[in-house]
Chains A and B, each alone.
Chain A
């Protein structure tokens, strides 16, 4: 029952979030600030995670290819398809749910318990629209860029790991990356990313906005925000895969 109540409360919150900003100048300023915080500041972790994961995928595939019936370019093909279809959009989103989700929930939760949100409301500011909308738009705009970055770095990681390990030639790896490449898969990945970005920011904002109590409760809200975002991403991933790929 409590979960159903929270879902209802979440949708009511979204209704208030998606209203016209009071002043566009302030909205743009907040949006660019959020792009910096949510997007640009996440680039290093995306680069780090993607290059190592790409390297591991390529190494594991190459070391397990014992059958002579499998063509050599399979390593590149598997790295490419697993990166584009699942690793970059989903795993990177799960990682970002931890980084960005906890940050947003604790930021808004602290504003709630220190009465900063009340101060906004008293001034006549729509606090949800003011605080949450720029974050959602920033995530929707920048998450696809992060994922494209991730795809590139993952494939680069695979390339470098094969150069270092000498398990297979880099020419066949590149051939594998280009083999059976479908642009539709990129659209699929980016669509998923936009949805995941929306989920991470809105769910985390929800838990932060309705935080009560003190520092301990803000910490709890932050944890709940990350867990709920991750579970929502996994469910959404399943549904989107059913809808788009099958």
Chain B
């Protein structure tokens, strides 16, 4: 479980996050949603320590991450897997070497054990036999799946996914969403997904945090987000004409 309490973050004079608090439970897919530039990626980067917070606390299963020194943070980070928006695969390494990288760095596994683990992770994301490809030879969807394989290689307790669907077609997006959901339930991981893709929200969102203007504007699940009367969420969820029509027809059905 990850808890954030009263997080404030600013860049020079510009404050991005204002007293953001929330709890992200394990075994659930927690979504951070919001329009671009509202602070959701900054919140996630604060949580993993890529940005220093101005004030507040971040607890990883009761351990205060913000108060830790570099070595303690390094230990927590070994329990974190992260899928980046652009996958962030090491382009000089093959798919296999990318997935093996954290194992080589942090474990005392034998080569055979590492190879077995890599094969297992690649199989889990349906990439068996693609070991020797370089990232530049993989499609966008494949790169995301390699990113997930690398993220789960160390059996993480916490999984962060930064816009996992960006740049993907709808079918591949759904595959990636389902993969994230399955992995979360299967390994009881605390998963946090940053997204503004509404189909992801409906597909995998067990707990949703809506960030607006740097504030924790709304929290709930995928059922309650449909029925909320919060105007900012309505604007966000029903942004397209198509979705507006769906909402109107839903309201008409309610009245009948």
Contacts and interface: CB of A to CB of B under 8 A. Distances in A.
Contacts of A124: 73-75, 77-78, 105-106
Interface residues of B, number: 24
B88 A123 contact: no
Interface in B118-177: 154, 160
Contacts of B154: 123
A166 interface: no
A26 interface: yes
Contacts of A125: 105
Contacts of B84: 115, 118-119
Residue from B49, B75, B82, B160 whose CB has the most chain A CB atoms within 10 Å = B82
B80 interface: yes
A115 B166 CA distance: 15
A26 B105 contact: yes
Interface in A98-156: 114-116, 118-119, 121-125
Contact of B90 (A25, A116, A121): A116
B86 A123 contact: no
B105 A118 contact: no
Given A114-B88, A115-B86, A118-B88, A123 B102 contact: yes
Interface string B64-102: 000000000111011010101110111100000000011
A70 to B, nearest CB: 55
A23 interface: yes
Contacts, number: 49
Contacts of B86: 114-115
B104 interface: yes
B195 to A, nearest CB: 17
A23 B88 contact: no
A116 B77 contact: no
B4 interface: no
A22 interface: yes
B256 interface: no
Contacts of A115: 84-86, 88
B50 A23 contact: no
Contact of B82 (A22, A23, A114, A122): A122
B77 A123 contact: yes
Contacts of A25: 104
Chain A: interface secondary structure? helix
B48 interface: yes
A26 B75 CA distance: 19
Contacts of B48: 122
Contact of A116 (B49, B75, B85, B88): B88
A121 B48 CA distance: 9
B149 to A, nearest CB: 13
Contact of B50 (A22, A114, A122): A122
A111 to B, nearest CB: 8
A219 B160 CA distance: 31
A123 B78 contact: yes
A182 B84 CA distance: 58
Nearest to A125: B105
Nearest to B147: A119
Contacts of A114: 86, 88, 91
A22 B50 CA distance: 20
A135 B82 CA distance: 27
A58 B160 CA distance: 64
A122 B46 CA distance: 11
B44 to A, nearest CB: 11
A52 to B, nearest CB: 33
A115 B83 CA distance: 10
A125 B106 CA distance: 9
Contacts of B89: 116
Contacts of B80: 122
A119 B45 CA distance: 11
B104 A26 contact: yes
B82 A119 contact: yes
Contacts of B74: 124
Contacts of A116: 88-91
A23 B77 contact: no
B105 A23 contact: yes
A118 B78 contact: no
Given A114-B88, A115-B88, A118-B84, 4 more contacts: A122-B77, A123-B101, A124-B78, A124-B105
* Chain A to chain B: the 8 pairs with minimum beta-carbon distance, closest first: A124-B77, A115-B88, A119-B88, A124-B74, A115-B84, A122-B82, A124-B78, A123-B102
Interface of B: 48-50, 73-75, 77-78, 80, 82, 84-86, 88-91, 101-102, 104-106, 154, 160
